[in-house]
Structure 1
Amino acid sequence: MTDSLQDVQGAVAPASLSNEVFNESFTPVVPATPDTVAPQAPVQADAQAFAELGLAPELVAAVRDLGYTEPTAVQHKAIPLAMGDANTAMVDLMVSSQTGSGKTAAFLLPVLHTLLAQQNAAHAQAEADFARQCAEAAERGEPAPKRPRRQNPTNPRQFKAATPGALVLCPTRELAQQVAHDAIGLVQHCRGLRIANVVGGMPYQLQIARLQNANLVVATPGRLLDLQRSMQIKLDQVQFLVVDEADRMLDLGFADDLAEINQLTIQRKQTMMFSATFAPRIQQLAARVMREPRKLQIDSPQEKHANIKQILHWADHFDHKRALLDHWLRDSSIQQAIVFASTQVECDGLANDLQQAGFSAVALHGALSQGLRNRRLMALRNGQVQILVATDVAARGIDVPSISHVFNFGLPMKAEDYTHRIGRTGRAGRDGIAVTFAEFRDQRRVFDIEAFTRQQFNAEMIPGMEPTRRAPTAQPPRGFGGGKGRGRPGEGGGARGPRRDHGGFHGGRAPGWGEAAAPSHPRSHARDGFQGKPAHHADGAGAKRYQKDSGAFAGQGKSAGATRTWSPDRDARGGFGGKGGGKPAGRPQGGRVFVPRDR
């Protein structure tokens, strides 16, 4: 039954089992050869590690066949607590673990173990009942009763709503498909356990047929509630509810859907929630749907990716970033790469530019149909595509071990999404490179990422493509106050960040890489005069204009025939004092009051 379901699942599930289930610290099984039989001994010893956790032999055999034998830290701590024992009841769990730490298997293995144990107990009870019926028939001298015939669940005349025993909720379709495929690989030795994947963008009839007799359902909240409202699935018999990537679930606006699913599965025995952090909003969600949960902090969000080299390139503008990306993509050491964009429009445009430049690139974002997204992911896993240009929809749930580079062409809106992005590389014990391209206007986001990860970027420059501006070296302080004027970053001079260059007028942007400096604009000097800047910024006519403006500010100029001087008690008299030709002191006729920097 599992094999037949896997054939149906293959149309939408990834081609290979995710290494997200297990960490790179796992030791792969060394197959025996005709020449040497010695490697068999450590395999049996390592396989015992999962058996010591109390897992069923079928699951231990599946894990060993997949090539992994050592449980990770999150699996070693979460699996015993999730399964419980005869003396300990099941508890709700809140687990914080980073991508690639094996958290998928941490909730799949205990859930599948419990479902398998319940199925075996039900099968044993059915066999005992049948044996009792046969004995009673023999005593009465009647022929033995026949076993009930198995009905076809896809026959409309025999249709009944699916009643799964476990439910796993994922925020994105790709992540749900990945988790479902991982579960199918884990039940390859479990007879009778069925896995169903329910996501949007797929035909309803195919998913309804897939739901029949399913024991574990991996779904996205939207399509799951659609099927529940149409009476295709009942959730009142769900015993285990798992919320994967709870932080992303809230970001996508699934809070109301989670509340509704919580009421539909109110009789469940256990709830598990996995998230990158224990943020206050995650704790508020846990307080509504969980009962006295146990918290497990396995990996802090600030844990450094030891096998991923992180590089930062500062760029003057978009064209500069595009040239830096083109330079990197021509590196012969790149096997496959993911380029993350900020928006869907930028994703499509960048993918088209790369295709025209001769690269094998495709775009992946939420506006594409689900069938097209599946085909492009399959092409990436099969090696038919080298570069995937994607939005944050691909930041979680994509696991291709051959991805060697990740490029952040557009910075993420949230700092924690950066860790999920770079987690697409450096998997299964391999080394990875994560390159970030940032314009100077993006320095606040860069500083937020550094503050979240608690590590500094390694800013590098490519010879011949250096930025024209000096890269910022320190994060400017947040908030106002703490110093006079603007000040420099780190000196308590406000929250406006580093000063702009006043070499010219460029529509709010300094001249950058590949640009010619624009002619100086006269208004910039007038603005400098009111800010009290030194006169060496201007020369010629601009210097005279600067001196005139600054002289008026200092009380040396004339305004409407009145001499105005700055007085110490300006606060009491409106700011300006002196003789004003019979006009009251206060605001000048220009309509603006210019305040000195040292006020």
Structure 2
Amino acid sequence: MSFEDLNLHPAIIKAITEAGYTAPTPIQKQAIPELIAGHDVMASAQTGTGKTAAFMLPALHLLATPSQVRSRGPRILVLTPTRELALQVSEAAKKYGKHLPRINVVSILGGMPYPLQNKLLSQPVEILVATPGRLIDHIQRGRIDFKRLQMLVLDEADRMLDMGFIEDVETIAAATPDTRQTLLFSATLDGAIDKVAAKLLKTPKRIQVASSKTRLDNIEQRLHYTDDMSHKNRLLDHLLRDESMKQAIVFTATKRDADTLADNLHAQGFAAAALHGDMNQRERNRTLTRLRNGGLRVLVATDVAARGIDVADITHVINFDLPKFAEDYVHRIGRTGRAGAAGTAVSFASVKDSLHLSRIERYTGQRISSHIIPGLEPRIKPRFNNNGPRSAPNVTQKHKRSPFAGNDKRPAFGAAAQTHEPGRTRNGERGKSFDGNRSFGHHPRGNAVRNSSGGKSSHQFARTK
């Protein structure tokens, strides 16, 4: 199937061809005809599968026909959970709609000056891309007229749900016409998303494509067990000096850790910078521009900040801290291996993270092989998994081949290595069992800070009742 077969407007086909796209992806094949037909759609599509074009192309097709309603307000509204994703969607709209007349794309984001946004909204707008919180502010001030709105898009609805934006989304939807067409895109279509869809969509067509497993087939996943913060830092230094690494994103659990690690890497001579939610929009844009232009080799980021980053030269993703949720693991490593290219994802983990690793593997349907770099071996080596004894981890050659070489297919270290009884602390007292969702040993000042109270912190063991 070609894009011409989808009956898109010729001006859009021309822009797609100039962008170098020849055939639609599975999500585009299924979603575009339903959207052109006017149906509400809820779709499960992972990042990197072409979902932005899946809703933007039919949205632009709709704009090719002039509106019968006189208003300066938007005809298309796209809501995203993060500023970076909003900017990515805006860029896609401009790229695919460049041959259509009078397509004005406006982004309304937190961190942008209000006077600038007020000026942008005073002009006729065809496509408005916004984060929920800032858009609510403008709606309450009466600065946006939704009389001619025809399409509402909820991009990464699962992330907006996780971030607590759904009430804002419902408030925004209530301010739009009931006649609108509504699209919901999410990494998963679970019970929580179904409840959101039931409130906002009308008899939607349900589309599910591109499972996590198939999307990760071109990404080599590796695991390194770590003892403490010093061990992590030495491993990271070794990996970043690999000449096969063009650009890398290193993920940390907190904004503070991102700043600290980026500063340390910069001091060691790496072209590194941090990206997180506490930075203003100008700083974030400057950092992303440096990354896209090759001025940065290492970006140290948090989950929310890195959402929506699409840079072709990201060859490696390193999970300095494991994410809290398995879904975030998929979104993180999806920053590499874009558009069918090969990528490498390396994760650091303590032996205490075994249950959490098992959850990630269940979610992706893939096992993560553990590897050892000579001279950087962990003091405590995992020996067992759910299937019994574990063979020795793969030894990565330090000089003869890349630190990421090898083809280890052994089962990953699983939950059976938990030596304490589920539901009890290691003291044997009744309490909450370890749930795998905490990150361990990530404080920039190491164990001395975590244990400064003289006792076992909640980062080590669950608190007893």
Question: Which of the numbers 87, 101, 114 marks the counterpart of 1:204?
Answer: 114
Q: 2:181 aligns with which of 231, 247, 270?
A: 270
Q: In structure 1, what is the Cα distance between the partners aligned to 2:210 and 2:269?
A: 40
Per-residue displacement from partner, 1:178-222 (whole Å, max 9, x unpaired)?
A: 100110011111011211111111112222222311111111111
Residue 375 (1) aligns with residue 286 (2): yes
One-letter code aligned to 1:341: T
Match of 2:165 in 1: 254
Is 1:408 aligned to 2:319, yes or no?
yes
Contact 1:308 1:426 in 2 (8 A): yes
Question: What letter is aligned with 1:433?
Answer: T
Amino acid corresponding to residue 250 of structure 1 in structure 2: L
Q: Deviations over 1:18-68 (max 9, x none)?
A: xxxxxxxxxxxxxxxxxxxxxxxxxxxxxx821110100000000001111
Within-5 A mapping of 1:439-518: 439-471=350-382, 473-475=384-386, 489=416, 494-495=421-422
- Which residue of structure 2 lines up, in the alignment, with residue 184 of structure 1? 94
Q: One-letter code of the match for 1:192?
A: R
Counterpart of 1:433 in structure 2 is 344
Q: Equivalent residue for 1:557?
A: none
Q: 1:335 aligns with which of 230, 235, 246?
A: 246
Instruction: Tell me which residue corresponds to 2:127.
Output: 216
Distance 1:490 1:366, change over 3 A: closer
Match of 2:66 in 1: 118
Q: What is the CA-CA distance between 1:490 and the residue it aligns to?
A: 8.3
Residue equivalent to 2:305 = 394
* TM-fit CA distance, 1:443: 2.1
Per the alignment, residue 92 of structure 1 pairs with: 40
Higher relative contact order (CA 8 A, sep 6+): 2
Match for residue 460 of structure 2?
Answer: none
Distance in 1, Cα, partners of 2:16 & 2:346 = 34
Cα displacement (A) at 1:499: 8.8
CA distance in 2, matches of 1:64, 1:336: 28
1:460 partner SS: strand
2:216 and 2:92 mapped to 1: Cα distance? 24
Matched, 1:103 2:17: no
Q: Shift of residue 406 of structure 1?
A: 0.5
Identity %: 46
**One of 14, 18, 28 as aligned partner of 1:75:** 28
Spell out, residue by residue over 1:200-255, the C-alpha distance to the aligned partner (whole angstroms, 9 max, x if none).
11112222222311111111111111111112112243111000000100111112
- The CA deviation at 1:163 is 1.2
Mapped partners of 1:262, 1:475: distance in 2: 47
Tell me the secondary structure at the aligned position of residue 118 of structure 1: coil
Partner letter of residue 314 of structure 1?
Answer: Y
CA 375–291 in structure 1, closer or farther in 2 if over 3 Å, else same:
same
Per the alignment, in what secondary structure is the counterpart of residue 358 of structure 1?
coil
More deviation, 266-275/182-191: 266-275
Letter in 2 for 1:349: T
Alpha-carbon spacing, 1:81–1:472, altered in 2? closer, same or farther (3 Å): farther
Q: Is the 8 A contact 1:311 1:459 kept in 2?
A: yes
1:240 and 1:204 mapped to 2: Cα distance? 25
Amino acid at match of 2:63: L
Q: Name whichever of 171-180 and 427-436 sits farther off.
A: 427-436
How far, CA to CA, are the matches of 1:472 and 1:172 in structure 2? 41
Tell me how far apart the structure 1 counterparts of residues 418 and 346 of structure 2 sit (CA, whole Å).
Answer: 30
Report what 1:66 is aligned to: 19
- 1:558 aligns to what? none
CA distance, structure 2, for counterparts of residue 411 and residue 455 of structure 1: 16
| Shift in CA distance, 356/491, structure 1 to aligned 2, threshold 3 Å | closer
Distance 1:370 1:475, change over 3 A: farther
Contact 1:476/1:497, CA 8 A, preserved across alignment? no
**Distance in 2 of aligned mates of 1:355 and 1:435:** 21
Counterpart residue type for residue 272 of structure 1: L
The alignment partner of 1:284 has SS state of: helix
Cα distance in 2 between the residues matched to 1:328 and 1:378: 24
- Describe the shift of the 1:470–1:490 C-alpha distance in structure 2 as closer, same or farther (beyond 3 A): closer
Unaligned runs of 5+ in 2: 389-414, 428-439, 442-465
1:317: Cα distance to partner?
1.2
Q: CA RMSD in A?
A: 2.5
TM-score under structure 2 normalisation? Answer: 0.82
Tell me the secondary structure at the aligned position of residue 303 of structure 1.
helix
In 2, the alpha carbon distance for the partners of 1:340 and 1:378 equals 19
Counterpart CA distance in 1 for 2:424 and 2:372 is 22
Which residue of 1 is the match for residue 208 of structure 2? 297
**What's 2:275 paired with?**
364
The whole-number CA distance in structure 1 between the counterparts of 2:35 and 2:185 is 13
- 1:169 counterpart letter in structure 2: L
In structure 2, give the amino acid aligned to 1:73. P
1:272 is displaced (CA, Å) by 0.5
Which consecutive segments of 4 or more residues in structure 1 shift more than 4 A? 490-494, 496-500
State the alpha-carbon separation in 2 of the partners of residues 181 and 443 from structure 1.
40
For 1:232, the equivalent position in structure 2 comes to 143
The code of the aligned residue for 1:418 comes to: Y
Deviations 1:504-533 (A, max 9, x none): xxxxx99xxxxxxxxxxxxxxxxxxxxxxx
**Structure 1: where are the runs of 5+ without partners?**
1-47, 85-89, 124-159, 478-487, 501-508, 511-599
Determine the C-alpha separation between the residues in 2 that align with 1:302 and 1:432: 15
Query: Aligned to 1:218, what secondary structure does the other structure show?
Result: strand
Aligned mates of 1:490, 1:358 — CA distance in 2: 39
One of 179, 204, 228 as aligned partner of 1:317: 228
Shift in alpha-carbon separation, 1:476–1:414, aligned structure 2, 3 A: farther
Aligned to 2:446: none
Secondary structure in structure 1 of the residue aligned to 2:138: helix
Q: SS state of the match for residue 347, structure 2?
A: strand
Question: Which amino acid is the alignment partner of residue 422 of structure 2?
Answer: A
CA–CA distance in 1 between the matches of 2:306 and 2:163? Answer: 14
Query: Secondary structure of the equivalent of 1:197?
Result: strand
8 Å Cα contact 1:476-1:490 kept in structure 2: no
1:548 — aligned with what? none
Whether the 8 Å contact between 1:62 and 1:189 is mirrored in structure 2 is: yes
Q: Deviations over 1:61-117 (max 9, x none)?
A: 000011111101100110000001xxxxx2111100111100000000111101112
For the 8 Å contact 2:420–2:426, the answer to whether it is kept is no
**CA distance 1:316–1:292, shift in 2 (3 Å):** same
